[in-house]
A and B are shown apart, each in its own frame.
Chain A
Amino acid sequence: MTELLRIQDLHVAFKTDDGMVRAVDGVSLTLNAGETVAIVGESGSGKTVTSLSVMGLHKKGSAEISGAISLNDHGTFKDVVSLNDDQIRDIRGRAVSMIFQDPMSSLHPYYKIGNQLAEAYLVHNPGKKKEAMARAIEMLDLVGIPEPAKRAVEFPHQFSGGMRQRVMIAMALMNSPQILIADEPTTALDVTVQAQILALLSKLKKEFNMGILLITHDLGVVAQVADRVNVMYAGRIVEEGAVDDIFYSPLAPYTLGLLKSVPRVTANNERLKAIPGQPPSLINLPVGCPFAPRCEYKQHSSESGCNSTKPELIGTSETHRSRCHIPEALRKDLFTKEVKELQS
């Protein structure tokens, strides 16, 4: 398995008038070729900020970034955090590409689809206009756009939302990158179109032998396509594991809360079990576990640690790790029971 991306102890903070916003607080994760790694969490948990750091898309002046983002650029590893502007620009769209949440606004309204795609190629292969156009049409065909040569001279407004997301994917793959970051790729789409886009991403992942870093808040999407999952809360990873670990034996109270808040078809007139309270402000994080104020299992903690120290990311197994002060055995017991109830 080729390692494509290794993020180590990434911290990202933004200066605001109210103080430093610690959007990402010590995130580490890896991505290998051929796998899909999901980052899950609610709005403001730091998942998009993490992915934008990999692209080097944070503004130099406003963001303070530390840690290491080591990225495999066709064989050589480069640390995105320490690269200069030109070096990062050279990686973008070539070694690592990104697709975004809203395909309706992510394409330039005034340029033809074919030209926007070709530009992605031309940036890294200057002067090769003919090849760029041919490649654009080839990629449009690959992502399942009928009559690609004809559609290439059309404008974005002539495409539907699902088709535009296909165009975005085609654009991301123009230079056959090894890493694809998909930031909420299906959130703005209809459910049926969502399934098509996810299937397309899985197909292309195999064809290009890419690693996909999938940012989402939708556990349904995670269950469908992810191999490994990182659950984020308040800028930190609270649980990481294989997709089955996360869905069948969650060990972080927050993960369980997410699972419980998924609407179910079988629930008769039951109220949706949302996690009570609001995520904490990232300017003044509590000293203790950031999730403690909302945690309904707090009383099971043997020490009074929940409010005084932040829990460490501790491994149950080689691949499954979580943050919580409650003794692991107790958690396993409690949480597995609840998960079983959910599934019955």
Chain B
Amino acid sequence: MLKFIGRRALFAAFTILIVSAVVFAIFSFLPFDPAALTCGQRCTDQIVEANRVRLGFDKPIYEQYWLFLSGIFAGRTYGAGSAAFTCPAPSFGYSFNENACVTDMIREALPITISLAVGALILWLIVGIGLGIVAAKFKNRWPDTSSSVFVLLATSLPTFVTGLALLIWVTIKWKLVPLSLSGYTSLIDNPFKFFQYFILPWITLAIAYAAIYTRFTRAALLETLGEDYIRTARAKGVGERVVFFKHTLRAVLAPLITMAGLDFAGLIGGAIITETIFNLPGLGRLTLRSVYEFDLSVVLATTILAAVVVIVMNLIVDMLYAVLDPRVRIA
């Protein structure tokens, strides 16, 4: 098991290195002058050239990449003399648009996105798997039919429709959840406010995903119920409830966890639409804003971060799979 984890971790680190190099290369070859983007309307060539030297854009690409990499581990100082400023490690660059270290910007946005993703994940796992179980248990009866109506509706409604609808009715018309103007409060500081802040975004995301999980759980359960080993369990005299909740559900767990891990990783990369609708200053919004403003150092950092999350989640899912499925351990 340790050997398996070690090998996979090494492989993951290597993948991350390659991804960062590719992303860095793409951004370097974009037809923009990154130095020219650093100053506003009253710009002179002098300032541009000074910024070019300060940010290291005058150096060859491989050296820039090396500076970027070493910045992550050692921090990075821009400029020299009294004008010098430092982004401490881990430094992912400096945003001239915001006059801030990229790392600090991500540090502010990340908890919001993680709170959004974790809450939504929990919600959609409960609803999706729950409905899937009910649908499979009562196949072709009314609970199954109503759950497929939910699946159909939820998969066909895009998040900007459900999100806006929730906002308009629940917050503005029925005033069930107050419009939060005070901004993000962490779970530890004020749990009640935290839930108030996130409940609608959670529901918005969860609806879309729960539908997929309902359909998947139902299909996987019904398929497993037809397996030979389920017939064996019945032949032993095992009761229907144990057959369903032990033998059948256990077999469905591993693929469900794989799916959940990858979907979760995708959300950390940014639930752009949901964050925009509910005005959540998370990673998605940060990326979107940076793209509009050509804030390339931020886009570079968030892109690499999204890739890293996907790779790390893959690693975690693989390790979980090895725990859940005994057949994987030897491979």
Contact = CB atoms under 8 A, between A and B. Distances in A.
Contact of B236 (A93, A111, A155): A93
Contacts of B250: 108, 110-111
A149 to B, nearest CB: 18
Contacts of A57: 231, 234-235
Contacts of B235: 55, 57, 92-93, 97-98, 100
A37 B299 CA distance: 75
Given A92-B235, A92-B236, A110 B251 contact: yes
B199 to A, nearest CB: 36
A89 interface: yes
Interface stretch (A66-74, A118-126, A323-331, A335-343): A118-126
- Among B234, B237, B239, B327: residue with most chain A CB under 10 A: B237
B315 interface: no
B251 A108 contact: yes
- Among B229, B250, B327: residue with most chain A CB under 10 A: B229
Contacts of B23: none
Interface in B3-32: none
B228 interface: yes
B130 to A, nearest CB: 22
A111 B326 CA distance: 8
B227 interface: yes
Interface in A78-133: 85, 89-94, 97-98, 100, 102, 105-111, 119-120, 123-124
Contacts of A120: 236-237
A165 B226 CA distance: 20
A97 B234 CA distance: 10
Contacts of A306: none
B54 interface: no
A155 B247 CA distance: 15
B232 interface: yes
B228 A92 contact: no
A110 B236 contact: no
A6 interface: no
A85 B238 CA distance: 11
B251 A89 contact: no
Interface string B248-279: 00110010000000000000000000000000
B291 interface: no
A168 interface: yes
B182 to A, nearest CB: 48
Contacts of A124: 237
A336 B232 CA distance: 42
A280 to B, nearest CB: 27
B324 interface: yes
Interface residues of B, number: 21
Given A105-B227, A105-B228, A110-B250, A123 B237 contact: yes
B153 to A, nearest CB: 29
B321 to A, nearest CB: 12
Contact of B229 (A85, A92, A106): A106
A123 B228 CA distance: 19
Given A94-B237, A124-B237, A106 B232 contact: yes
B233 interface: yes
A157 interface: yes
B223 interface: no
A105 B236 contact: no
A92 B325 contact: no
Contacts of B325: 109-110
A120 B239 CA distance: 11
Nearest to B327: A157
Contact of A93 (B227, B237, B247, B327): B237
B232 A92 contact: no
A40 interface: no
A17 to B, nearest CB: 14
A120 B240 CA distance: 14
A60 to B, nearest CB: 11
A90 to B, nearest CB: 7
Given A155-B326, A155-B327, A157-B326, A106 B237 contact: no
B228 A100 contact: yes
B141 to A, nearest CB: 11
B228 A110 contact: no
Given A92-B237, A93-B237, A107 B326 contact: no
Nearest to B227: A105
Nearest to A172: B235
B234 A90 contact: no
B45 to A, nearest CB: 68
A78 B326 CA distance: 41
A171 interface: yes
A108 B232 contact: yes
Nearest to B329: A155
A28 to B, nearest CB: 24
Contacts of A55: 235
Interface in B201-239: 227-229, 231-239
A265 to B, nearest CB: 34
Interface of B: 227-229, 231-240, 247, 250-251, 254, 324-327
22 contacts: A55-B235, A85-B240, A89-B239, A92-B234, A92-B235, A93-B237, A98-B235, A100-B231, A106-B228, A107-B229, A107-B232, A108-B229, A108-B233, A108-B251, A110-B251, A110-B326, A119-B238, A120-B237, A123-B238, A155-B326, A155-B327, A168-B232
Q: Which 7 A-B pairs have the closest CB atoms?
A: A93-B237, A92-B237, A105-B228, A155-B326, A93-B236, A120-B236, A108-B229
Interface of A: 55, 57, 85, 89-94, 97-98, 100, 102, 105-111, 119-120, 123-124, 155, 157, 168, 171
Given A92-B235, A100-B235, 17 more contacts: A55-B235, A85-B240, A89-B237, A91-B237, A93-B237, A100-B232, A105-B229, A108-B251, A109-B229, A109-B326, A109-B327, A110-B324, A110-B326, A111-B250, A120-B237, A123-B239, A171-B232
